[in-house]
Amino acid sequence: MNLFRSEGHIKKWLNGREPGATLTAVKLSELADAWWHDRLATDWVPHTRDQNRAILDHLGLIGDFWRLP
């Protein structure tokens, strides 16, 4: 899960490998905020699969790639 200078750099880095998912830095930041914001809360409990699914759905991260186990 890496940060690149451009989509072109991702393509070069993949070097013919099957690409995964590409997001803008803004979308990544939104995802990180939704996913991690409560990680240090004193009342933290593990996210359920449904909670994580809802985070991804809300951000439009749907489809086979984003299907949780």
Partner 1 sequence: MEERDIALRRQTYRLFVELGRAPTVDEIADITRLRPIDVASGWRRLHDAHALVLQPDRLEIRMANPFSGIPTRYRVRAAEREWYANCAWDAFGICAALQVDGRIETSCPDCGIAIGVDVREQRPDPAEFWFHCLVPAARWWDDIVFT
Two structure tokens written together for 38: 């409560």
In angstroms, give the least distance from the CB of 51 to partner 1.
Answer: 14
Of 4-63, binders to partner 1 (CB under 8 A) are 4-7, 9-10, 12-14, 17, 19-33, 35-40, 42, 44-46, 56
3-state secondary structure of 26: helix
Q: At which residue do the structure tokens 């951000």 appear?
A: 59
CB 35 within 8 A of CB 52: yes
Positions touching partner 1 (CB under 8 A) are 1-7, 9-10, 12-14, 17, 19-33, 35-40, 42, 44-46, 56, 64-69
